[in-house]
Amino acid sequence: MPHQQTIDPKGCADLILRSKRVVALTGAGISTAAGIPDFRGPQGLYVTRRYDPEAVFDISAFRRDPAPFYEFTRDFLGVIHDTEPTFTHRFLAERESRGKLTAVVTQNIDSLHQKAGSENVISVHGDYWTSHCQACRREFAFPQMEEMVREAPVPQCSCGGVIKPDIVFFGEAVHDLDRAASVVAASDLLLVLGSSLAVYPAAFLPEQASGDVVVVNKGDVGLPPQEGRYFVDADLDDFFRDVERLLTQA
């Protein structure tokens, strides 16, 4: 079995400088520094508020009675309302603005990449950035949804239809998986950030990468070592502050 390789901030900065098509794949770990706990972690909303994810995020249950989902959503939107993107969120948005990073593929539903300024975000599990009426398909932006959630137990469109955020429920297909696989396959550097790669089908995406892969995550990662894969067990913001400083000096 190949030896697991690591890389320091200078090595990562050098890879970014040499690359033309960087893609980031992000998981819950990129947002924990912003104050958003992993749903299933010891301080996650599933645990602290005793939500049953199988009921809250089951599409059949939502269609029968959307109220439990919106109870969870009020808590979740309360957490993220004043939450600011982390340094790493902004680092990725800056790389995109400079034409270096082509896309962010995220497993998160918190919309912090968009708040940081990233434009080409592929949210494979969906997010709260947009919502749609289940009857007439009218689209609602994030601020509209926030307001309606505060005002009604179950937000409804003017046509009478129930509004559902564009997040992926159990029983629904993930979003844009083919597009995510395509941008990963076309990348010459994939940054896997804050993901243990334990949730499929997103976890299979690094296998599509033909270039180098740098994984930065606290704890174990479900990706076997091989040539061109580098693993860093470190705090994301600390690591990428060093990378940013080195890129600025280059």
Supply the residues annotated as catalytic.
125
What is the C-alpha to C-alpha distance for residues 109 and 202, in angstroms, rounded to an integer?
14
Q: Do 114 and 80 touch, CB atoms closer than 8 A?
A: no
- For the sheet containing 126-133, what is the strand order? 139-141, 126-133, 163-167
- Of 107, 89, 122, the C-alpha closest to 195 is 107
Assess whether the previous peptide bond of 201 is cis (omega < 30° from 0). yes
DSSP state, 162? B
- Give the Cα-Cα-Cα angle 91, 84, 237 (nearest 5 degrees): 40
CA distances 176 to 103, 114, 149, 239, Å, are 13, 17, 27, 29
Tokens matching residue 115 = 């708040």
What is the C-alpha to C-alpha distance for residues 77 and 99, in angstroms, rounded to an integer?
32
Q: Left if phi > 0, otherwise alpha if psi is -120 to 50, otherwise beta: which for 146?
A: alpha
